[in-house]
């Protein structure tokens, strides 16, 4: 023993492994990978049910004491595992292993001197040690150089083991660290795991410890009472069940008291390629190639099914490799076509157990010439190379027909009338060879030639008036005004052209006649050096309609409010440019205002003012601004009183967006945020209407106020929670309640139709925002207000000062974000689009169905990041239809482009409204989980988008029709 004594230097890393020739299996479970090691098939079919073992060793534990037991399961009846040490490290001599049982023993007693740290660079209470061991059949010798092994990690504790009275019973029964075991399908029965903890057995000799296995369903496992080993009693088939959850029950008898402890154990069944591939329905598909002839075009698909799983990485080490071969020697076919192979794992079509669906897509490797014409059958052999039987191949057939495409005009003559007042680049019309709108991979060019080359020389310049260009969207041609000078020449009356279309690859041509008739009288510009500009340069209707701008077919620009030019290239760009310009101008104005305010307050004393009416006095045509004397955040009480008027900026008042301060009476504060607050107010003659209107006024920490419509019932979240208090009793026969309902329909109990109506209104409002190229970024029930008549108002109010609570937002940089409402691309990549608003709308649907419940109840925002990334989504709430839950799940698709648009959502909700007429049982829909309705959660509400503008079809219930208006931005500004 003395010769084996030595120091334990810091973290000594020697891996205790059992030799096993590992074939790396990677199991695709979603994006997860499972790695297992299996002994070399050519020489040994042994494999280990787990890939690491853990145990603790204390000072004073005697030599000869067992530490732990490892097991190797068999693949063949004749095999028997044999274990032995194979490490040359001197610390391996501290242990030895029984070659037949796999029990690891200590050769020496662990002493205090083994923890001498004078020469060690690592200090601490524990030291870690890993050793090496090998295992094989008795007739073999294991190779210690094999690098694919199983690890045993030992922790040496610089202390004596706790006494029996101080020891927790859980430590007697179960290890501190553990991993779930796995077994291979179709393998031999045998011991799987030792349940006893050898290192603690000597501490409590008077305790009696026993185990048993508990499961709700039959399992192929049993307990060996004499050895306390969990044993596999029968071979398993993964295609029947791929996991077995069991409960290990530990019973500790202490004198006359029996203590029972439980721990779960999840035993996974690893796959073996024991199922042949097959086709489910057909092995043949007909493919027609005519107008779509471009590279990459997918022509047809066939599917091959396999009940086995297919790993996804690395490709050359999969246990279920499919290899495909084109069964042809035709070089043209090989160059022209390719087969794209993809696969996915599914459960539904394989009896709720993972299997693989392989898809084989026939696609074009290059463009097909318009003159190619042929028909053939393309055979494709699919071979499961790792399936051991003779049925591992499937033959697929693609019946391909290639038709030629002729380039010609069915229209003998194109005829257009053109006003002489038309300006340059005015679009005259569109020309197209037959089926040109279907062309893909066929490039067409257009040009014009003079129809009669014998025309007089003085008439020839007339033909410069018109030209043709290829459309950017398809293979059609766009006729446009090229030169306006010929319009003033009286000899230019009828322009006869030959329209030529040419296919660019083979130079095939088609020709037809084009006749342009010039009518009217040309306009002559008398302004020397005049340069014609685009119509968009004119911002006022009057000057726009009198301006001769580019692209005007009648010679004058047309005022088209809320619409844009007909050319698709311009449409989206124009919207983006206008929105950007407006945003930049607003930012510049705010920055300038802040600069002058700062300079003023730096040099001007601030007199106290006691009256709010005095504070907001506004001289004619001036722009006074209030600001705090310092940058300290003010309380809700002093944010109005401590302000001063400044007659600084002379800015013209815009009556469309601004409202006179003298007609606005401020009331009580509704809420306050970081940069402003919201008060209830009364507006006189709002929008020219006689009398007073109750409104909400949002103000910055200064006098720039935003007037918004007053929402009587507050946020949708609170409204839904209050509706739970109403309950279904309104549906009873109580006369008082019925009469109250008739007097105030808003007080009636909610129906499922009402909830769908709320969602529909919000979707229409969001559809409007999407059309305006606006992204909300914080769509939630707290940011939707409920106005009179149960009309939904999308908003983003700051109605709470401390709006960013930990249960709703996570801090990023200098702010907090609403994690539970945010799309996955917003969380990880900070990308915000209309489709990320669709994700938030899905969470809002969940809030509506649960009557204001908190999303992801009981889950901290920090944990939600990884949960969402692994595919986790909220479960279907009670009283939520499958149709509604399906819509939620589609809103929560990981790929943004696979989520529905708000237009599609609106149509789907509209269909649901027609179907749903049943009352919602509010009592049943209120779960007992307090986390779901924690009233301490924050709310934030901001400027309104009115969701109410267009009535529903008359087939919908009349109780909904009054609420179905959408599409206006309902707010105005006032300044002082």
Give ∠ CA 210-211-212 in degrees, rounded to 5.
Answer: 140
Q: What is the dihedral of CA 522, 527, 530, 536, to 10 degrees?
A: -70
Q: Integer distance in angstroms from the first to the last C-alpha of the chain?
A: 94
Tell me if residue 150 falls in helix, strand or coil.
coil
Instruction: Say if residues 405 and 434 touch (Cβ distance below 8 Å).
Output: no
Rounded to whole angstroms, the Cα distance separating 500 from 449 reads 8
Q: What is the number of other CB atoms lying within 10 angstroms of the CB of residue 382?
A: 23
Q: Which residues are bridge partners to 57 per DSSP? A: 156
Rounded to whole angstroms, the Cα distance separating 725 from 747 reads 12
- Least Cα distance to 108 among 63, 66, 78, 150 occurs for 63
H/E stretch holding 250: strand 243-254
Q: Is 698 annotated as a binding residue?
A: yes
For 388, the token pair is 């051991």
Q: What is the dihedral of CA 684, 688, 690, 691, to 10 degrees?
A: -20
- Please confirm whether the linkage preceding 314 is cis (ω < 30° from 0): yes
- Least Cα distance to 756 among 918, 633, 600 occurs for 918
Rounded to whole angstroms, the Cα distance separating 606 from 629 reads 7
Rounded to whole angstroms, the Cα distance separating 380 from 399 reads 11
Beta strand extents in 298-392 (DSSP E only): 298-306, 322-326, 337-346, 355-364, 374-384
Most distant CA pair in the chain, distance: 125
Instruction: Say if residues 383 and 339 touch (Cβ distance below 8 Å).
Output: no
Write the CA distances from 733 to 299, 534, 738, 753, integer angstroms. 64, 68, 7, 21
Tell me if residue 845 falls in helix, strand or coil.
helix
Instruction: Say if residues 294 and 305 touch (Cβ distance below 8 Å).
Output: no
Rounded to whole angstroms, the Cα distance separating 464 from 497 reads 11
Instruction: Say if residues 308 and 278 touch (Cβ distance below 8 Å).
Output: no
Rounded to whole angstroms, the Cα distance separating 576 from 385 reads 54
Rounded to whole angstroms, the Cα distance separating 628 from 233 reads 80
21, 306, 384, 778: the catalytic one is: 778
Residues listed for the chain = 976
For 220, the token pair is 């192929």
79-96 CB burial, b ≥16 within 10 A, e <16: bebbbbbbbeeebbbbbb
For 312, the token pair is 């996804």
**Interaxial angle between packed helices 834-849 and 752-771, expressed in degrees from 0 to 180 and rounded to the nearest 10:** 170
Q: Is 731 exposed, middle or buried (0-12, 13-18, 19+ CB in 10 A)?
A: middle
Write the CA distances from 314 to 80, 115, 271, 366, 472, integer angstroms. 32, 43, 17, 29, 43
**Interaxial angle between packed helices 716-726 and 834-849, expressed in degrees from 0 to 180 and rounded to the nearest 10:** 20
Quick one: how far is CA 236 from the chain centroid? 38
Rounded to whole angstroms, the Cα distance separating 676 from 896 reads 34
146 is catalytic: no
Q: Is 799 exposed, middle or buried (0-12, 13-18, 19+ CB in 10 A)?
A: buried
Give the residue numbers of the binding site for ATP: 698
List active site positions.
Answer: 778
Give the residue numbers of the binding site: 698
């Amino acid at each position: 023993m003395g010769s084996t004594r030595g120091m334990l230097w810091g973290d000594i890393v020697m891996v205790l492994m059992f030799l096993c020739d590992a074939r790396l299996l990677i199991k695709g479970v979603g994006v997860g990978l499972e790695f297992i090691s299996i002994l070399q098939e050519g020489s040994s079919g042994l494999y280990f049910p787990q890939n690491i073992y853990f145990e603790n060793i204390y000072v004073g534990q005697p030599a000869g004491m067992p530490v732990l037991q490892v097991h190797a399961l068999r693949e063949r009846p004749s095999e028997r595992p044999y274990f032995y040490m194979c490490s040359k490290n001197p610390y391996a001599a501290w242990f030895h292993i029984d070659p037949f049982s796999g029990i690891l023993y200590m050769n020496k007693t662990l002493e205090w001197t083994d923890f001498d740290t004078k020469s060690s660079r690592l200090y601490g209470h524990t030291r870690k040690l890993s050793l090496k061991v090998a295992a094989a059949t008795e007739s073999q010798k294991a190779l210690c150089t094999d690098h694919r092994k199983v690890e045993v990690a030992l922790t040496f504790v610089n202390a004596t083991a706790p006494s029996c009275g101080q020891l927790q019973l859980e430590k007697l029964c179960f290890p501190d660290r553990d991993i779930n075991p796995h077994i291979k399908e179709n393998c031999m029965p045998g011991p799987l795991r030792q349940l006893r903890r050898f290192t603690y057995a000597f501490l409590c000799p008077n305790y009696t410890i026993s185990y048993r296995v508990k499961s709700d369903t039959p399992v192929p496992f049993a307990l060996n009472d004499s050895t306390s080993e969990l044993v596999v009693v029968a071979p398993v088939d993964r295609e029947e069940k791929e996991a077995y959850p069991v409960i290990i029950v530990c019973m500790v008898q202490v004198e006359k008291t029996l203590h029972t402890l439980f721990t779960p154990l999840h035993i996974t069944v690893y796959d073996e390629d024991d199922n042949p591939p097959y086709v489910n329905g057909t092995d043949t598909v007909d493919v027609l190639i005519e107008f779509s002839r471009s590279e990459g075009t997918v022509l047809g698909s066939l599917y091959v099914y396999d009940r086995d799983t297919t790993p996804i990485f690395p490709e050359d080490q999969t246990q279920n490799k499919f290899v495909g071969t084109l069964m042809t020697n035709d070089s043209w076919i090989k160059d022209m076509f390719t087969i794209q192979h993809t696969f996915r794992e599914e459960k539904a079509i394989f009896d709720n157990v993972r299997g693989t669906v392989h898809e084989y897509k026939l696609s074009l490797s290059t463009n097909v010439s318009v003159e190619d014409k042929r028909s053939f059958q393309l055979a494709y052999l699919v071979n499961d190379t790792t399936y051991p039987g003779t049925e591992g191949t499937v033959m697929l057939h693609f019946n391909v027909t290639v038709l030629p495409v002729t380039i010609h005009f069915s229209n003998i003559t194109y005829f257009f009338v053109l006003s002489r007042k038309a300006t340059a680049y005015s679009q005259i019309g569109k020309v197209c060879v037959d089926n040109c709108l279907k062309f893909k991979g066929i490039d067409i060019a257009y040009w014009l030639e003079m129809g009669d080359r014998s025309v007089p020389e003085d008439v020839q310049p007339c033909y410069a008036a018109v030209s043709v260009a290829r459309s950017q969207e398809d293979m059609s041609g766009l006729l446009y005004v090229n030169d306006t000078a010929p319009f003033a020449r009286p000899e230019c009356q009828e322009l006869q052209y030959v329209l030529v279309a040419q296919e660019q690859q083979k130079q095939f041509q088609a020709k037809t006649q084009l006749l342009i008739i010039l009518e009217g009288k040309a306009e002559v510009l008398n302004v020397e050096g005049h340069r014609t500009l685009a119509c968009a340069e004119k911002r006022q209707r009057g000057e726009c309609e009198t301006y001769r701008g580019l692209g005007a077919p009648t010679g004058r620009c047309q005022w088209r409010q809320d619409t844009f030019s007909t050319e698709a290239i311009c449409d989206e760009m124009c919207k983006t440019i206008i929105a950007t310009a407006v945003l930049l101008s607003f930012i510049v104005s705010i920055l300038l205002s802040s600069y002058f305010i700062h300079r003023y307050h730096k040099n001007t004393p601030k007199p106290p003012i006691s009256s709010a009416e005095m504070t907001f006095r506004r001289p004619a045509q001036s722009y006074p601004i209030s600001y705090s004397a310092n940058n300290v955040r003010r309380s809700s009480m002093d944010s109005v009183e401590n302000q001063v008027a400044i007659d600084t900026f002379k800015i013209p008042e815009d009556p469309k967006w601004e409202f006179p301060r003298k007609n606005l009476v401020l009331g009580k504060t509704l809420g306050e945020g970081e940069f402003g607050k919201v008060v209830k107010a009364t507006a006189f003659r709002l929008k020219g209407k006689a009398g007073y209107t109750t409104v909400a006024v949002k103000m910055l920490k200064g006098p720039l106020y935003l007037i918004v419509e007053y929402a009587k019932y507050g946020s949708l979240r609170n409204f839904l929670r209050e509706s739970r208090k109403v309950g279904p009793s309104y549906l009873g026969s109580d006369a008082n309640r019925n009469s109250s309902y008739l007097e105030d329909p808003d007080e009636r109990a909610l129906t499922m139709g009402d909830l769908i109506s709320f969602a529909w209104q919000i979707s229409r409002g969001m559809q409007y925002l999407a059309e305006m190229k606006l992204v909300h970024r914080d769509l939630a029930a707290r940011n939707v207000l409920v106005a009179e008549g149960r009309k939904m108002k999308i908003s983003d109010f700051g109605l709470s000062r401390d709006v960013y609570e930990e249960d709703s937002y996570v801090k990023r940089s200098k702010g907090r974000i609403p994690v539970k409402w945010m799309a996955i691309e917003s969380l990880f990549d900070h990308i915000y689009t209309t489709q990320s608003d669709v994700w938030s709308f899905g969470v809002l649907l969940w809030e509506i169905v649960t009557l204001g419940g908190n999303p992801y109840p009981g889950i901290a925002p920090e944990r939600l990041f990884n949960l969402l990334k692994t595919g986790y989504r909220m479960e279907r709430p009670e009283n939520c239809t499958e149709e509604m839950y399906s819509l939620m799940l589609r809103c929560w698709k990981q790929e943004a482009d696979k989520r529905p648009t708000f237009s599609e959502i609106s149509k789907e909700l509209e269909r649901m409204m027609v179907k749903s007429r049943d009352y919602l049982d509010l009592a049943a829909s209120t779960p007992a989980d307090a986390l779901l309705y924690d009233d301490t959660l924050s709310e934030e509400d901001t400027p309104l988008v009115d969701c109410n503008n267009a009535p529903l079809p008359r087939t919908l219930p009349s109780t909904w029709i009054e609420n179905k208006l959408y599409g206006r931005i309902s707010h105005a500004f006032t300044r002082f």
